[in-house]
Copies of this chain bind each other. A is one copy, B any other.
Amino acid sequence: MSDSQFSQDTDDDDFGGYIKIDRYNQERIDSLKDNYHNVLKQIGEEPEREGLLKTPERVAKAMLYLTHGYELNAEEILNSAKFKEEYSQMVVVKDIEVYSMCEHHMLPFFGKAHVAYIPNGHVVGLSKIPRVVDVFARRLQVQERLTNEIRDCIQQTLNPIGVGVVIECRHLCMSMRGVQKQNSVTTTSAFTGEFLKEKTRTEFLNLISSKLS
């Protein structure tokens, strides 16, 4: 997508470790800074008061961090830790924290993702599942597309017997503005292969609602 340098470590520079401040990213930050300086003026604030002096730059960096998924490749991540293994039961990674941004209002939505697959000769390093969730969540999204993208990426890369993805999120665009519903949670799901059968899907849904698994 660009020649910028995005790292997947989380602790090796000054904002989350994801964004290297090379020339390309510095130009993006400078351009975003100008935008957010004007946003402060338009909403009726004083961009020069002490508390706001560094805000345009912080917001610029925060936005790049919150959308760094555009720069990552989920298939590469999965392929980097794919191992031959004869295990053939369901693998479930549940309660994966999800933070994303609604593409309509650029407000956060967040909650949990639960991902399962049934291996077909290959398993994947467990930590790679939450990483794949993050690759797609750290973009402007709608929850339905996020759910499908995670499913499709796992299906295409691991070619498993089936994939199941369930996501439950609170959307701030519905609670802090708009219809102002405080506690509504949106649940979406996507399945392939074996998970299209009711028995497998029920097992998956039972496992993610259990307190033990």
Chain A interface (Cβ within 8 Å of chain B)? 1-2, 15-16, 28, 31-32, 35-36, 38-40, 42-45, 51-52, 54-55, 58-59, 62-67, 70-71, 97, 99, 103-108, 110, 140, 142, 172-173, 175-178, 182
Please tell me if the beta carbons of B105 and A108 are within 8 angstroms of each other in the complex.
no
A32, A54, A64, A107: residue with the most chain B Cβ atoms closer than 10 Å: A107
Given contacts A35-B42, A43-B67, A55-B140, 19 further A-B contacts (CB under 8 A): A1-B44, A16-B178, A35-B39, A39-B63, A40-B140, A42-B63, A43-B140, A44-B70, A51-B103, A52-B103, A55-B103, A55-B106, A62-B106, A65-B177, A97-B182, A99-B175, A107-B108, A108-B108, A110-B172
Please tell me if the beta carbons of A140 and B45 are within 8 angstroms of each other in the complex.
yes
Inter-chain CA distance A183–B46, complex, in Å, is 32
A63, A64, A182: residue with the most chain B Cβ atoms closer than 10 Å: A63
- Distance of A30 from chain B, by nearest CB (Å): 10
Please tell me if the beta carbons of B99 and A140 are within 8 angstroms of each other in the complex.
no
Please tell me if the beta carbons of B62 and A108 are within 8 angstroms of each other in the complex.
no
Other-chain contact of A43, B15, B63, B108 (Cβ < 8 Å): B63
Please tell me if the beta carbons of A62 and B173 are within 8 angstroms of each other in the complex.
yes
Inter-chain CA distance A108–B40, complex, in Å, is 15
Please tell me if the beta carbons of A142 and B105 are within 8 angstroms of each other in the complex.
no
Residues of chain B lying within 8 A (CB to CB) of residue A63: 39, 42-43
Inter-chain CA distance A175–B62, complex, in Å, is 12
Residues of chain B lying within 8 A (CB to CB) of residue A173: 62
Residues of chain B lying within 8 A (CB to CB) of residue A172: 99, 108, 110
